[in-house]
Structure formats: structure tokens, C-alpha cells
Structure 1
Amino acid sequence: MSNSDLIIEERSRDIGDFMVGRLIPFRKKRMVGPFIFIDHMGPSKIGPGSYLDVDVHPHIGLSTLTFLLDGEIVHQDSLGTNKKIVPGSVNWMVAGKGVTHTERTPESMRDGQTYGLHGYQIWVALPKELEFMEPEFHHLDKSELPSWTDGTAEFVLVAGKGFGKESPLPVHSELFMVEIKTTEDYTLEINSQLEGEIGICIVEGSIQACEHSLDAGNMLVSKTDNACNLTMKAGTHIFLFGGKPFPEERYISWNWVATEKETLAQAKQDWIDKKYPKVPGDDSYVPFPGKS
């Protein structure tokens, strides 16, 4: 793997074999494989006055992947889905030509007590030929995801293909998302175990990469596809994600992803004109941010 120096963004840098950033997108790396957006939720506390209540909002051109480490969220969408996600399970919503949804704290947790909430909300861009496909929703319980151990490390294949295994989550491009936890120091060696670009998200603990120690909250992107080596320190928790990049550029506007800017402009107008499908039983509406 080659070495070069570049400054990506504040608190982001190049350390040799890896670029280091604060999740994606960042200035020098807009996507990792088909992954275009990763949002780290928490860890935080929810309770009276601070429940999660994300009103009806739209998506097009992407799939959303929600993965919780702590807490619970109820997902409802315009397909009629009403599904609670708990730690270790996966919600996968394919927006395609257009979908709306909400994310809320379950009624069972609105009891005056305080609860934790921690997880990741991820956008995966759809291939150009599937950009306007019919929306879908899929949920997998933790027990349905492939899991295995290697020494002191525990692996879970959340999505896609990797390490000779395949998740049953019905994805639409060549990608992977792998969760790894270790109780002792562990050397992670990836040699053609994953296909495409590789991102590494440090959830907890620290890793040693290219003689640099990196703590939780950082994301690394390997400069070489299909291979990277690093040491996970004892008590570390990471995610590997990525895959084969698309040949076309992607554009983002608010909650929308598209290969053409004109599609984003139309999506905005359709939302302002309230032409999107509705979430049954929920008349809430998140206006387009800023001036229309």
C-alpha cells in the first residue's frame, strides 16, 4: 500500500495506508463503495422531554440501514410497515422512486424513565438502473445474521458478502457491513476477504494502524481495495463497510440521493407540493429546510 500525505478536513488526516475522517461524507472521500452517508446516533439518553420523534420525511434513490447498539426505535413508513428495531437487528428500507417514514421512541418506553439510545443510520446509494425501483422494507433479527468467532474476536455479517459468508439481507449492489468486537488485542487481516473499498468505523476502544493509535469516533478508509491490516486493542468494537463503487457520481440534497441534479430538484418540488405517499395514520410533515 502506498503512502502519501493529504489533509481531508478538520480532525481528518492521512496516516499512511489509511485516510482518517469523521464518518462520511467528508471532503476527500464522498462515498465508500455504495455507502454515501453514515450518521452516528448517541450514545445519548432519552426520556420525558427528549424522546425520539422524527416526523414524516421522504427519501429517494437510496436504501436506509438502521443498526442499534442500545435502545429501541419504531419505524413506520408509507408502505404500511410498523416495525420496532432493537439492538443487533437490522431495518433496511429501499426508498427507490419515493418513500416516507417516521422514527419514534416506542410507547412502551414513554413511561417517565430514562433509556439509552446508540446506533448508526446509514444510507446506501442504489445502482443507477434501480434508482426508481419500487420501495421495499426488510427486517432481520439478530439471530438471522451470520456470526462467527476468530480467536478472541466476534464477527457479525450485517449486510452483503464477506469472509466467505453472505447476509440474507436483500441488498441491491456488491457491498458489505461487518461488526467486529474483541476482548483481547487482535490482529485483523483482510486479504481478499472483502470485495471493493473498505471503511472502518471505530465504535469503542482503539486500533493501531500504520503506527498510529486511533480512538472511537474516527473512521478510516483503506487506500487499497480488498486488503488492510490493523490491530484492534482489547475491548474494541468496530464496523467494516464498503464495497464496489459505482461508475457514476451521486448527488445529495436533504434526504435524497440521485445520479442527476434534476431528479433532486423534482424531488424537492414534489415534497413541497405534498405529492409523496403518506404514512398511514400519521399526518406530521417535515418541511424542506430553509427557504422553499
Structure 2
Amino acid sequence: MSWLHHPSDQPEGAAALVITPVSHDIGGLRVRRALPHASQRMVGPFVFLDHIGPAQFEAGHGLDVRPHPHIGLATLTYLMQGCILHRDTLGSAQEIRPGAVNWMTAGRGIAHSERSPEDARRGAQPILGIQSWVALPKAHEEAAPGFFHHEGTTLPQLEDGGIVARIIAGRAYGATAPVKVFSDTLYVDVSLGIGSALPLPDEHEERSVQIIAGEVEIAGERFGEGQFLVFRPGDAITIRALADSRLMLLGGEALDGPRHIWWNFVSSSKERIEQAKQDWVQRRFGLVPGDDQEFIPLPGSKPVGS
């Protein structure tokens, strides 16, 4: 129990906000989007959160997200089931598999695609995971773009009885992930056996929980799959598993000011987003090697030359 600290001198806190994500389509797959939400635009540096699946592609089908641009953020794709082939304008070509971390820093601008690999389409394939956008601090919004892959074996994994916690990015429970982050970050994949109890780390300013599977109880209230819970800073939170459950803990340091989000662009400046729109229309982001025959047009625009 060395890494699990259960506070005993504070009253037990409750969820301050409960969000039921809205369903969206991305490249032929329905996802549940928890952030941004009308009641909660962001939690720590996280400004976007999609719960992918659980779903099953039939043979011959798969995910097809055509090349599209980003600025001012980092994307973090984390799978629990399935496989996605990531390609980007830097020339990266990486299969994303369960347990690995794939961090793409967009910074001043990058374009990428996300598709099911051809070999995976030969049979039925499951998919389950989380894709999130982490807004960059103002000082790093124009950072050089980059793509970083970390195998699951390189991530800290903590175990205690029926609890397994893998630190995906940032720090928690005294462990720090090797993924380079730009601000204090909480991002943990947790599996809870029925009857186990997990204290939420209290060293982070903003905290939330995405319930991937199962059912949990917090301060006498029950919550289930798909729900997104946001907590007050400093509250002592204990999560009790009423069934075998899987959760994502996320949050961290509050951003250094509001962010504007338009389509795939995130910035502290509306003018910068307008520039990014023109850059995409004029094809200034560059091509994605190996996937340069199509792209997602800017919403509401016509391709150049039409």
C-alpha cells in the first residue's frame, strides 16, 4: 500500500459535475465526446476528449480519418483494443497498438491521418480507446511539430491488490511517465477489481475521471460506463469499484488563459486560427507521405482550383 494514500482527515468529496458525452462520427466510427462541453470547456490542459468504442469493425471495414491539420495542441492517442496507423507530414508512420502512448505535438502546424491498417481489415476487428487534445501553454503554442511513440513497457505501472494504474503522461502516485509534457499533467489508465478503492491524486489543480467500463461509487453516488466526472480542487476523492472497472484519470495544471477551438485548431489567438484556416486551404501544411491522395477540406470551403 506504499503508493496508495487514503486521506483520513478530510471529509469525502463528491463529483462536482457529471457529463454524459455527446456521440459524434469520426471516419466511420461513432465516438462519445466529453470535452469540450457547455458546462466544462477543459480540465487542466485537456481541451478535447473522445471515448472511442467499444465497437467492432466488420471484415473489409475500418477507421478512415483522412489527412487533416492541427495547431496549438498535442494529440494523445491511447488504445485498449484495436490498431490505428498514424501518418503525418513529418513522415511518421506508426501503428498505434494497445497500451502504447502516441503523442503528436502540432505546435505551429502539422497534418496527419488515422486509418485502420490494411492487414487488420482482413477480419473483424475491435476498437476501444481514448483520443485527447492537450492545449499547449502560450509559450509553446508555436513549438516545432513532432511525433513521439512510447511502448507500453516503458510506462510506469503500479499494482496493489485489485488495482493496476499505468501512468500514461505526467505524474501520479509518485511515478512519472517518460512522455514529454509542456505543463503539469495527470493522465492515468486504471483497472479496478470489484471491491477495491482508489484515492484520486490530490496534488493536481484540476482532476476528472472518464469511466471506460464497469460501475463505481463516489460519496454514495453510482456512476457507469461513458460518464465523465469532474471534481473540485482539493477535495478528497475515493473511487470504489462496484464491478470490475476501467477508468482514465486526467487533469493537471489549469491553462494560462482561455483557448479558442475551431475545427481542429486550438489557440489563444483568434487571428492565429484564421491564419491556420487559410494555410490549410492553400495547402501550406504539406502532404502526408503515404497518404497524399485525399484530405478533409476546411469546413465551409471549396478546394483550391474548384
Contact 1:195/1:226 (8 A) holds in 2? no
> 1:138 corresponds to which letter in structure 2?
F
Kindly state the Cα deviation for residue 72 of structure 1 after the two structures are TM-superposed: 0.4
Q: Normalized against structure 2, the TM-score is what?
A: 0.87
Kindly state the Cα deviation for residue 282 of structure 1 after the two structures are TM-superposed: 2.3
Aligned-partner SS, 1:110:
helix
Kindly state the Cα deviation for residue 205 of structure 1 after the two structures are TM-superposed: 0.6
Q: Which residue of 1 aligns with 2:209?
A: 200
Identity %: 38
Counterpart check, 1:189 vs 2:199: yes
Contact 1:19/1:222 (8 A) holds in 2? yes
Kindly state the Cα deviation for residue 16 of structure 1 after the two structures are TM-superposed: 5.0
Could you list the structure 1 runs, at least 4 aligned residues long, displaced by more than 6 angstroms after superposition.
Answer: none
Contact 2:199/2:237 (8 A) holds in 1? yes
Q: Normalized against structure 1, the TM-score is what?
A: 0.91
Counterpart check, 1:124 vs 2:122: no
Counterpart check, 1:92 vs 2:103: yes
Show CA shifts across 1:102-137 (max 9, x none): 1111121122x1111111110000010000010011
Correspondence 1:71-82 to 2 at 5 A: 71-82=82-93
Counterpart check, 1:136 vs 2:146: yes
> 2:226 corresponds to which letter in structure 1?
G
Contact 1:190/1:226 (8 A) holds in 2? no
> 1:20 corresponds to which letter in structure 2?
V
> 2:70 corresponds to which letter in structure 1?
H
Distance (Å, rounded) in 2 between the aligned partners of 1:99 and 1:248: 23
Kindly state the Cα deviation for residue 29 of structure 1 after the two structures are TM-superposed: 1.1
Distance (Å, rounded) in 2 between the aligned partners of 1:281 and 1:237: 35
- The worse-fitting range, judged by mean Cα deviation, of 275-284 and 148-157 is 275-284
Correspondence 1:27-38 to 2 at 5 A: 27-38=38-49
Contact 1:204/1:236 (8 A) holds in 2? yes
Show CA shifts across 1:86-112 (max 9, x none): 11111100000000111111121122x
Contact 2:60/2:121 (8 A) holds in 1? no
Correspondence 1:18-167 to 2 at 5 A: 18-21=16-19, 22=21, 23-48=34-59, 50-111=61-122, 113-167=123-177
Show CA shifts across 1:44-93 (max 9, x none): 11234532111110000000000001100110111110100111111100
Show CA shifts across 1:152-187 (max 9, x none): 111100110111110001111110101111222122
Counterpart check, 1:272 vs 2:281: yes
Q: Which residue of 2 aligns with 1:245?
A: 254
Kindly state the Cα deviation for residue 242 of structure 1 after the two structures are TM-superposed: 0.3
User: Structure 1 pair 2/62, CA: closer, same or farther in 2 (3 Å)?
Assistant: farther
Contact 1:179/1:237 (8 A) holds in 2? yes
User: Structure 1 pair 156/101, CA: closer, same or farther in 2 (3 Å)?
Assistant: same
> 1:274 corresponds to which letter in structure 2?
R
Distance (Å, rounded) in 1 between the aligned partners of 2:286 and 2:59: 31
Aligned-partner SS, 2:35:
coil
Distance (Å, rounded) in 1 between the aligned partners of 2:69 and 2:255: 23
Distance (Å, rounded) in 2 between the aligned partners of 1:223 and 1:250: 21
- The worse-fitting range, judged by mean Cα deviation, of 248-257 and 281-290 is 281-290
